[in-house]
A and B are shown apart, each in its own frame.
Chain A
């Protein structure tokens, strides 16, 4: 399925851009995500999606395949396998930033492919699960921005994220009949470099605006599993990656972060349609 979404974060483009490129940092906002290792430009990890009685754990990898500073466009590829089960999830996510009055609107085009049990139900478990993840993610992202900034439109960001969270719900893809159509604005001009009024936020730790491809360049730190999620209900710190995990993650582009971006952006789409 292909999806288009947009999303606004309360920071100027110049500050949002490096955040988006910092996979590790984005991943910290994702409930249930654990980054296991970084090898070259490939981030490997797990994501445990837990909703009510249901649990699905994915293992996989993601990498940024291109980052164009001039058009503020970043493309991620991710793929993952279920830790228990034969299903897979893969995504190609293209995100582009637009300056809007000191904030940043992000437009995202996503190709998402989910297989296996979660895709085999009429009640669209993934979209339900996705919306839940997004709510958490949006809150976490807002909090992240708030704590790392100074004066910050912190409260505003929080409220915005709350609103987004409560309205989060991807459009359904009711079976064979309706392909999820792209509702969000297409072909947003990459113009408006926008005056970065950036009085705000985030002294971004190790990602500088000038070095958008910084994350991919970071050296491998294979030694860590690091816990990055802050929501405690959907993460399993003690879970030991099975012997096949490393192998599973090897073939290419993988997983979680791409998926989470996808899910994150679903929320915006919904919100827009509600405004109409």
Chain B
């Protein structure tokens, strides 16, 4: 199908971009990698008045070391993120999850920030951002503000950003040594969305779990931090039993959707099984 007509702007800088966004009003959309937005445009489920293409703003592709954190530019592609040595060292969970996004073609065009701003609860990166306590750096003509991940994902495909705001980057705290990570994605075909996903980071101290961070993909209208699991596994010995019993808490606070690929009941079951597996894999 063919998108409905829209105005198109391709600003060269972040300043220009936010100015254009401010002028364009609430029915403007930011075009990042286009891997989610373009299908919506073509299906005419999205009919924006204007597209603001930020693809030429090179500064947004940068991934940099920021002391105790890493700042990943919003326009860094998944492919770039997967291969970036800083990401691999300080945020291997992001690299692991990004590797499961769709297919190579999508990973080469799709962007880290774009998929977060899209706030699709079936997307892989929102849960990861939530698990890692990432902070979203957002700009508009009104200035810059920081939105913690816990506040960023508001609802189904809805973020806390205002229509005139642009996601410029994401700050990910460096977790320090001793963390094992795993992203457990459950999907029917290689390029499909996760029916359920579990983003998991675990820090061991000898034979015990000192700390765990767990967040769930596609278990509600927004990604869900599995606090119950994190609390239950803290201090427990590294063992199958610990993981299984902690995973029993995985469905707390979730509202799994039902669709062609899985009922809410099945998703709840999966969340439990996959959480246990993710903990085990991360703790290895």
Contact = CB atoms under 8 A, between A and B. Distances in A.
Q: Are chains A and B touching directly in their complex (CB below 8 angstroms)?
A: yes
Interface of A: 51-56, 84-85, 117-118, 122-125, 127-129, 131-132, 135, 167, 169, 171-175, 233
A172 B263 contact: yes
Nearest to B121: A128
Interface of B: 4, 26-27, 29, 36-37, 40, 43-48, 118-120, 122, 155-158, 163, 221, 255, 257-261, 263-264
A3 to B, nearest CB: 14
B26 A233 contact: yes
B158 A132 contact: yes
User: Which of B156, B257, B261 has the most chain A CB atoms inside 10 A of its CB?
Assistant: B156
14 contacts: A51-B158, A52-B156, A53-B37, A53-B45, A54-B157, A122-B260, A124-B259, A127-B258, A128-B257, A132-B158, A172-B257, A173-B258, A174-B258, A175-B260
B158 A169 contact: no
A124 B158 contact: no
B255 A174 contact: no
A219 to B, nearest CB: 35
Nearest to B263: A174
Contacts of A135: 155
A84 B4 contact: yes
A122 B261 CA distance: 8
B154 to A, nearest CB: 10
Contact of A52 (B43, B119, B122, B260): B119
B259 A51 contact: no
A91 B117 CA distance: 34
Nearest to A135: B155
B157 A53 contact: yes
B interface SS class: loop
A169 B257 CA distance: 8
Contacts of A117: 43-45
A202 to B, nearest CB: 29
B246 to A, nearest CB: 23
Contact of B157 (A52, A84, A118): A52
Contacts of A132: 155-156, 158, 221
B94 to A, nearest CB: 22
A172 B264 contact: yes
Nearest to B36: A53
B259 A122 contact: yes
A118 B44 CA distance: 10
A53 B4 contact: no
A49 B34 CA distance: 22
Contacts of A169: 221, 255, 257
Nearest to A274: B255
A3 B36 CA distance: 31
Contacts of B40: 53-54
Contacts of A174: 258-260, 263
Contacts of B44: 84-85, 117
A56 B43 CA distance: 12
User: Which of A54, A117, A122, A167 has the most chain B CB atoms inside 10 A of its CB?
Assistant: A54
A53 B46 contact: yes
Contacts of B119: 52
Contacts of B264: 171-172
B156 A51 contact: yes
Nearest to A56: B45
A85 B29 CA distance: 20
Contact of B156 (A55, A128, A167): A128
Contacts of B45: 53-56, 117-118, 125
Contacts of B36: 53
A172 B261 CA distance: 11
B118 A52 contact: yes
A125 B120 CA distance: 12
A131 B221 contact: yes
Given A53-B29, A53-B46, A172 B155 contact: no
Contacts of A123: 122, 257, 259-260
